[in-house]
Amino acid sequence: MSNSVIDVAPHGRFGIEGQAVRPRRWGEQVIGVALFGCALVSILTTVGIVIVLVAEAAQFFREVSIWEFLTGTEWSPKLENKFGILPLLCGTLLVMAGAAVIALPIGLLSAIYLSEYASSSVREVVKPVLEVLAGIPSVVFGYLAIVTISPLVRTIFPSAGVFNAASASIVVGFMVLPMVVSLSEDILRAVPRSLREAAYALGATKLDVTVKVVVPAAISGIVAAFLLALSRAIGETMAVALAAGNRPTLTINPLDEVQTMTAYIVQVSQGDTPAGTLEYRTIFAVGLALFVTTMFLNVLAQWFVARVREKYE
Amino acid sequence: MSQTAFETTAYSRRRARMSQAFSVLCLAATSLGVLVLILLIWEILWQGLPWLNARLLTSFPSMYPEKAGIAAALVSSLWLITLTALFSVPIGVGAAVYLEEYAQASRWRSLVQLNIANLAGVPSIVYGILGLGLFVRALALQRSILAGSLTLTLVVLPIVILAAQESLRAVPNSIRQASFALGATRWQTVWHQVLPAATPGIMTGVILAISRAMGEAAPLVAMGAAATFITFIPLSPIDEFSALPVQIYDWASRPQPEYHHVAAAAIVVLLTVLILLNATAVYVRYRYGKRIRW
């Protein structure tokens, strides 16, 4: 491939499509191959993830049936040899749902404010603030969850434990908020101005224009932003490991202590579990479940993004 | 007739009021994000500042919170981000140059592009599992700084690639055409014209990626690599290591409130390093961004 790539200018970018640019030095070819190698690293990363997860998980599923893994309602690998992932999945989805309740409405309303209402000076203040919020490490949010949020939750709901899904949900909600805002805002701003002007010309108020014209026009992109945020919330680790607890529970009560898939992986990794044991392999089985879930949401999000592109580009 | 006119005005007034109320709601939602950031920073400073002193910076983890410090964790983290930058910048920028300047529009290129977008969405703990299987076990790097840096490199690579691609795309084609017209080869054009013009943007992306690597604890914990009992300064890439966020996690997860104060003080240090990194990014963007005019 190196010859064709280096000799011919690609896809008309240089306006000299099809014309040969002769390599003057053999080094040119070497560089082309090296750059190709760099891009290959990203493909190999994905391949590596799949191979590592599937290889070890396959060993795990030799001893535990996939059916038991997917439908078992108890997760107690160390004490009782029970390998049902449902409690971990339930904990993950509970935290995700709580985070969604916070991040999605607040995020969308903020995006609408920034895109439709805010003056450019307000935007210049708010956007960097959100960037800073997005840049704060997960473990810092986890600290905040235990030291500040959890006592607050327990004051309001005395039945809640020190570790509860609610305080994890709250911090994860604010962690993914900047992502929802910035992705949704981009997509709202991409809605052509003519659509808004047409609605105003028909006597619509700003509320009508926003809710009945702009948001529906951008809905695919907003859904994509939401899905990416949910995927982030599912993969969120340190904050959840600190705040939600370490007891796998099949519950929908946000005040209960739960364990998410990510928190379980952290728990096992911290203990000195010898390689090759069944407990060690649970990391890979749970990791595979986590990878598949987030990948599904990401691919779905990309499908929605592709729909937006078709519409306006 | 007048009746209808009156109704219309009342109706339009109500609609105007609702529109007004909605804008207030949107403003309130936006303020919430800002408020949370202020609360977070205030809470950490309030808890951590009294515990922030020279002893914290020069001591090792300890059974006694008043003697515990972050010397090993901080040095390890600096090792990690330095090596991660050394690995991820050439590979990331190389991949971006390949995709933007070399590869032809093809199924292969869209596959690589789609793959990078997907990798950006993979939870960081999954990279930790990859690091455990690949670097720690298969390549037998053990629980070393090198294994940790390679894992973090994979975590931040998509960030570097995407940022570099965006900066390369922002370089006007006229620059490339002028260079080709003067007889430069593809690589001469990239190296002497396109990359220098894209450097501020690439640097910003790189610093963003380094900040991410600095704050990541999950992949290091999943590798089983970062240990919180390290009581020496790691001096080479094959030493065992700790990491600032991992140390913070360890302290925050303990029940004693004194440890929470130490954790808060360590968070102040972590955030200070992150702020310094980001200030550098802003400076680079400002300093070098000014010189380029098209």
pLDDT at A4 over 70: no
Residues A93 and A56 in one domain: no
CA–CA distance, A306 with B265 (Å, rounded to integer): 45
Torsion, Cα of B175, B176, B182, B186 (10° steps):
150
Q: How far is B71 from chain A (nearest CA, A)?
A: 19
Whole-number pLDDT of residue A12: 41
CA–CA distance, B28 with B22 (Å, rounded to integer): 10
B43 has a chain A CB within 8 A of its CB = yes
Q: How far is A67 from chain B (nearest CA, A)?
A: 23
Token readout for A180 is 């929802």
Whole-number pLDDT of residue A269: 86
A27 has a chain B CB within 8 A of its CB = yes
Helix axes B257-291, B71-97, angle to 10 degrees: 40
Query: What is the DSSP-derived secondary structure letter of residue A201?
Result: H
Residue A282: closest C-alpha in chain B:
B129
Q: What CATH number is given to the structural domain containing A150?
A: 1.10.3720.10
Are B36 and A116 a contacting pair, CB within 8 Å?
A: no
Tokens 């000299």 belong to which residue? A16
Tokens 């951590």 belong to which residue? B48
Q: What are phi and psi of A201, to 5 degrees?
A: -60, -25
Are A83 and A69 a contacting pair, CB within 8 Å?
A: yes
∠ CA B184-B185-B190 to the nearest 5 degrees?
90
CA–CA distance, B260 with A139 (Å, rounded to integer): 12
A284 has a chain B CB within 8 A of its CB = yes
Residues A198 and A80 in one domain: yes
Please, which pLDDT band fits residue A2 given cuts at 50, 70 and 90?
A: very low
pTM of the model: 0.87
Residues A163 and A269 in one domain: yes
CA–CA distance, A60 with A277 (Å, rounded to integer): 9
Chain B CB contacts of A227 below 8 Å: none
Tokens 């991992």 belong to which residue? B246
Whole-number pLDDT of residue B6: 52
Measure CB to CB from residue B104 to each of A5, A45, A236 and give the nearest one.
Answer: A5
Cα–Cα nearest to A145, from A112, A99, A201: A99
Q: Is residue A68 part of a domain?
A: no
Whole-number pLDDT of residue B289: 63
Torsion, Cα of A143, A148, A150, A153 (10° steps):
-150
Is A147 close to B43, i.e. CB distance below 8 A?
yes
Residues A173 and A57 in one domain: no
Token readout for B68 is 């515990």
Q: What is the DSSP string of A260-308?
A: -HHHHHHHHHHTTPPTTSHHHHHHHHHHHHHHHHHHHHHHHHHHHHHHH
Chain B CB contacts of A106 below 8 Å: 29, 32-33
Query: pLDDT by residue (tens digit) across A62-119?
Result: 888 888 888 888 888 877 778 888 899 999 999 999 999 999 999 999 999 999 998 8
Count of helix runs (H) and strand runs (E) in chain B: 12, 0
What percent of the residues of chain B are helix, what percent strand, and what percent coil, each to the nearest 5? 80, 0, 20
Is A27 close to B264, i.e. CB distance below 8 A?
no
**Per-residue CA distances from B181 to A274, B37, B97 (Å):** 62, 52, 20
Per the DSSP assignment, residues forming a β-bridge with A76 are A82
Last residue of a domain, which of A63, A91, A106? A63
The pLDDT of A124-140, averaged and rounded, is 88
Is B187 close to A31, i.e. CB distance below 8 A?
yes
Residues A144 and A207 in one domain: yes
Query: What is the DSSP-derived secondary structure letter of residue B182?
Result: T
∠ CA A240-B79-B162 to the nearest 5 degrees?
65
Residues A138 and A241 in one domain: yes
Domain span including residue A160: 75-312
Are A54 and B126 a contacting pair, CB within 8 Å?
A: no
CA–CA distance, B25 with B221 (Å, rounded to integer): 41
**Per-residue CA distances from B178 to A16, A33, B99 (Å):** 12, 25, 21
Residues A29 and A152 in one domain: no
The stretches of B49-144 forming alpha helices (DSSP H) are 54-58, 71-97, 107-120, 124-131
How would you label A123-158 residue by residue, b for 16+ Cβ within 10 Å and e otherwise? beebbebbebbebbbbbbbbbbbbbbbbeebbeeee
Q: Is residue A69 part of a domain?
A: no
Are B76 and B241 a contacting pair, CB within 8 Å?
A: yes
CATH code reported for the domain at B55-291 = 1.10.3720.10
Residues A162 and A240 in one domain: yes
Query: pLDDT by residue (tens digit) across A156-206?
Result: 988 888 889 999 999 999 999 999 999 999 999 989 999 999 999 998 888
Split chain B (294 residues) into runs of 10 and give each run's mean pLDDT: 58 85 90 88 88 80 78 90 95 95 88 91 93 86 88 95 93 92 91 90 90 92 78 80 90 87 91 89 74 57
Please, which residues have CB within 8 angstroms of residue B167's CB and are 6 or more apart in sequence?
A: B198, B199, B200, B201, B202, B204, B205
Please, which residues have CB within 8 angstroms of residue B66's CB and are 6 or more apart in sequence?
A: B258
Is B185 close to A25, i.e. CB distance below 8 A?
yes
Residues 207..236 of B with a Cβ closer than 8 Å to A: which? 208, 211-212, 214-218, 221-224
Token readout for A117 is 């209402």
Q: How far is A98 from chain B (nearest CA, A)?
A: 17
From the number of C-beta atoms within 10 Å of its C-beta (0-12, 13-18, 19+), residue A62 rates as exposed
Whole-number pLDDT of residue B56: 77
Are B158 and B120 a contacting pair, CB within 8 Å?
A: yes
Q: Is residue A70 part of a domain?
A: no
Distance of CA B37 to the CA centre of its chain: 17
Query: What is the DSSP-derived secondary structure letter of residue B65?
Result: G
Query: What is the DSSP-derived secondary structure letter of residue A116?
Result: I
Are A101 and A165 a contacting pair, CB within 8 Å?
A: no
Q: How far is B12 from chain A (nearest CA, A)?
A: 9
User: Residue ranges per domain, chain B?
Assistant: 2-51, 55-291
Are B217 and B225 a contacting pair, CB within 8 Å?
A: no
- Position A272: which residue type? D
ipTM of the complex: 0.88
Residues 231..290 of B with a Cβ closer than 8 Å to A: which? 245-246, 248-249, 252-253, 260, 263-264, 267, 270-271, 274, 278
Token readout for A236 is 């969120």
B168 has a chain A CB within 8 A of its CB = no
pLDDT at A227 over 80: yes
pLDDT at A6 over 50: no
Please, which pLDDT band fits residue A310 given cuts at 50, 70 and 90?
A: low
* Number of independent structural domains in chain A: 2
Per the DSSP assignment, residues forming a β-bridge with A8 are A20
Report helix, strand or coil for A20.
Answer: strand
Residues 60..99 of B with a Cβ closer than 8 Å to A: which? 90-95, 97-99
Residues A12 and A125 in one domain: no
Last residue of a domain, which of A12, A41, A63? A63
Torsion, Cα of A36, B117, A175, B250 (10° steps):
-50
Token readout for B244 is 């600032």
Are A198 and A247 a contacting pair, CB within 8 Å?
A: no
Q: What is the DSSP string of A75-95?
A: EETTTT-EE--HHHHHHHHHH
Chain B CB contacts of A301 below 8 Å: 121
CA–CA distance, A133 with A139 (Å, rounded to integer): 13
CA–CA distance, A146 with B258 (Å, rounded to integer): 14
Measure CB to CB from residue B129 to each of A35, A52, A138 and give the nearest one.
Answer: A52
Query: pLDDT by residue (tens digit) across A12-33?
Result: 444 444 455 554 577 888 999 9
Cα–Cα nearest to A189, from A103, A117, A105: A117
- Position B146: which residue type? L
Measure CB to CB from residue A14 to each of B123, B158, B180 and give the nearest one.
Answer: B180
Residues A303 and A188 in one domain: yes
Query: What is the DSSP-derived secondary structure letter of residue B51?
Result: G
Residues A56 and A82 in one domain: no
A138 has a chain B CB within 8 A of its CB = yes
Cα–Cα nearest to B155, from B175, B129, B187: B129
Residues A59 and A150 in one domain: no
